Amino acid sequence: MSDLLPLESQTLVESAPSNGQGVCLADGTLRTDTEVVLRYPVPPGLYVSFALEGCFRVWINGGWCAVGQRECLCVYHPEPAEWVCHVPGGQCLRIAGAFLSDTWLSTVMGGMRDRLPHIGPGSGGVWSLSDLGPAPLAALQQGLRTDMPDSLRAPYQSAKALEFLVLLLRGSLSDGAGPGCCRFAQAHRERVRQAHDILERQLADPPALGDLARMVGLGEKALNAGFRHLYAATVFEVLTDLRLTRAHHLIVDLGSRVSVAAYAVGLTPAHLSQAFRKRYGVPPSALRGTASTAAPSSKALPRHR
């Protein structure tokens, strides 16, 4: 198996080297019993990842970007960066993707690469595969052919990468892939976001799942499904993320005692210490009063749907 990203950890998949011309096409599968968190540097270029099965989220551009099943993540980085990828447990994640280096993009597109809205500097977005159409993914998968002679593989992949890029841009810039691209109902999305806001405001005493669902006019299953779609996590997982983010801010930035931070987010000191150690690798007392290190939040990248 191979992944489209140069991972430091090989837990997900093996690194897929560039073909020597600034192009990398790859696919991979990961089956998880528990959540997997990966950190890795990314060089300048365009990253495109299709979630063919399962879901994941990436900490990028200062926020979490959630990618649901049958969606496509497209992000352009003009400068080197670092990503944090979170893969929920209990699923099979199957992805296919491409990395097109900034040098390669400059050669084939020139200044046009900076004028395209969804790959402009520091930007990115998520599209529904159904609205992009089958052509971009088909071109990518054709580029992954293993029966190509070694002498032809590099130019063949470059040609398929160019075809993939053109089809991707045509699909993402078409009328069908603008606002409303994702077929998740707008009213449903708004109710899910309302539930998220309620949790964020009531961390010390959050409503139970059933109560939260009733507050926004959804069933429990529909609410959890909505959270998985928008945030690649269950309601409970999002609540835990919000609590740890707030506690991290209180302890690291404001110098609050662990017990004060714990009760402020509705946890006991023991529960906070356990969750904190699992997330950050150290107990909260070890970080008290230190400089903030850009703690994750639930802010998401703009989604084109």
Say if residue 62 is in the same domain as residue 138. yes
17 burial type by CB count under 10 A (0-12 exposed, 13-18 middle, 19+ buried): exposed
Task: Considering only CA atoms, give the Rg of the chain.
Answer: 20
Say if residue 166 is in the same domain as residue 119. yes
Say if residue 155 is in the same domain as residue 217. no
Say if residue 36 is in the same domain as residue 152. yes
Higher pLDDT, 131 or 153: 153
Number of domains into which the chain is organized: 2
Say if residue 271 is in the same domain as residue 165. no
Distance CA 292, CA 290 (A): 6
Contact 124, 73 (CB under 8 A): yes
Say if residue 171 is in the same domain as residue 208. no
Residue 293 counted as domain residue = no
Which range, 56-65, 94-103, 109-118, 170-179, has the best average confidence (pLDDT)?
94-103
> Does the structure show a pLDDT above 90 at 106?
no
| Beta carbons within 10 angstroms of residue 94's beta carbon | 16
**Residue 145, domain extent:** 2-177
Residue 80 counted as domain residue = yes
Give 5's contacts (C-beta < 8 A, 6+ positions apart). Answer: 15, 40, 42, 47, 49, 83, 85, 97, 99
Output the pLDDT for position 259: 93
Average pLDDT along the chain: 75
Residue 301 counted as domain residue = no
Say if residue 194 is in the same domain as residue 163. no
**Looking at this protein, which amino acid is placed at residue 21?**
Q
Say if residue 71 is in the same domain as residue 197. no
Higher pLDDT, 93 or 302: 93
Mean pLDDT across 144-153: 80
pLDDT tens-digit readout, 225-248: 888 877 777 899 889 888 988 888
Say if residue 150 is in the same domain as residue 217. no
Say if residue 23 is in the same domain as residue 125. yes
Structure tokens at 146: 């293993």
Say if residue 115 is in the same domain as residue 158. yes
Last residue of a domain, one of 138, 159, 177: 177
Mean pLDDT across 28-38: 85
Which range, 20-29, 200-209, 214-223, has the best average confidence (pLDDT)?
200-209
Residue 303 counted as domain residue = no
Distance CA 251, CA 182 (A): 38
Residue 52 counted as domain residue = yes
Say if residue 18 is in the same domain as residue 105. yes
